[in-house]
Structure 1
Amino acid sequence: MMKEEIATLAGGCFWCLEAVFQRVRGVQQVVSGYIGGHTAHPDYRSVCDGRTGHAEAVRITFDPQVVSYETLLDVFFAIHDPTTPNRQGNDVGTQYRSAIFFHGPAQEAVARARIADLAPSHASPIITELQAAPPFHPAEDYHQNYFNQHGDQPYCQLVAAPKVAKLKQYFAPLVSE
């Protein structure tokens, strides 16, 4: 019987995170959405305007017997900059912050340990937020599976594709495609 766990991560545009984690062996589903804000029903426009306090994030359903939570965090830290507050490249605002929304004390402990282990290798402090997962709100349908459907668009080519390439370069044994 397959055991499933959930990981919820924010690190810039959810299209980029989704594109990467969809390609990780052991990941069953990746849903783009919004988390960590103060509005009950966030939508893309209000989140992008910075009015809701939500971050763009992905909810990852994975089989921990195939890929560990710690490994997912290693991928996460490799594909985004955890040292810049409220920014990933040209995407600027609180909706693009780096955050780990843990699901239980075991995930919290793993996340804290990974941040502590990785901190010495970064020139600037890791500012990734760490908090218990509040409600997750799936994004609108047109945001789901975005890179796979629109990979030829300039944003996907310039921002998401290099993150997918980084996954393939540094984590080749994990790639499922």
Structure 2
Amino acid sequence: MKKIICYILLTVTTACAAFARSPKELSHLTTPPHLDTATLATGCFWCTEAKFKELRGVVKVTSGFAGGHTVNPTYEQVCTGTTGHAEACNIVYDPKQISYDELLQVFFTDHDPTQLNRQGNDVGTQYRSAIFYHNATQKQKAEYYIKKINEEKAYPKPVVTQVVPFTVFYKAEGYHQNYFSKNGSVPYCKYVIQPELDKFRKAFADKLKTSK
């Protein structure tokens, strides 16, 4: 799986090298000009945050909600599945240290993008797989990845990841931020997130901030 995704990474990087972003496309970002932002949903945001924050070049990961219609939703509202929002993470990163392509590599290999509106036992539209692109380049790369992954049959089923424009991101309540770091001993963290994090650290050991 990882070898296939790495191969696709090389081809998409070449294909998109000349695709420049315009100032207009970046105008909504509040990050410093030398940083960039990716907004990704891979199921429960506790797990997504725990993994992506360990990548070298990732400056900040914020857990929250995106893609829905309810303004300033609470976690309880999102859990009902009626807000249209997905649990997502806003990932601020330094492109000089880690590329968007590499973030997509992690995204597509570290959750199951063929599961519709669920990840494992977490079921509902709020747990859907989604990429909220911030500009045309991110959209092009995400769509290209999905096309190549399906063509290579990297998974036994087609990818169902949504690729939709970023509109607004609502930060989740404070207790959700750095949840795994603060609650590693609770059952969900111990028996669900920790095993996933262990696999992640092994698969992407060369991309971590520190050796584990």
TM range (shorter): over 0.9
Task: Identify the range of structure 1 (13-22 vs 69-78) with the bigger mean alpha-carbon deviation.
Answer: 69-78
1:2: Cα distance to partner?
A: 7.5
Alignment correspondent of 2:193:
160
Alignment correspondent of 1:135:
168
1:106: Cα distance to partner?
A: 0.6
Taking the aligned partners of 1:29 and 1:162, their CA distance within structure 2 comes to 23
Alignment correspondent of 2:50:
19
Alignment correspondent of 1:146:
179
Deviation track 1:117-164 (CA, whole Å, cap 9, x = no partner) reads: 222211001000001101000000000000111111111122211222
Taking the aligned partners of 1:115 and 1:160, their CA distance within structure 2 comes to 25
Runs of 4+ in 1 over 6 A off after TM superposition: none
Where relative contact order (Cα < 8 A, 6+ residues apart) is larger, the structure is: 1
**2:109 equivalent to 1:78:** yes
Decide which of 66, 80, 101 is 1:35's aligned counterpart.
66
Q: Kindly, what percent of the aligned residue pairs are identical? A: 49
How many residues are treated as equivalent by the alignment?
Answer: 177
Alignment correspondent of 1:108:
139
Highest CA radius of gyration, 1 or 2? 2
RMSD: 1.3
Give the alignment's TM-score, normalised by structure 2.
0.81
The aligned amino acid for 2:195 is P
Taking the aligned partners of 1:71 and 1:97, their CA distance within structure 2 comes to 21
Decide which of 166, 170, 173 is 2:203's aligned counterpart.
170
Gap runs ≥5 in structure 2: 1-31
Give the alignment's TM-score, normalised by structure 1.
0.96
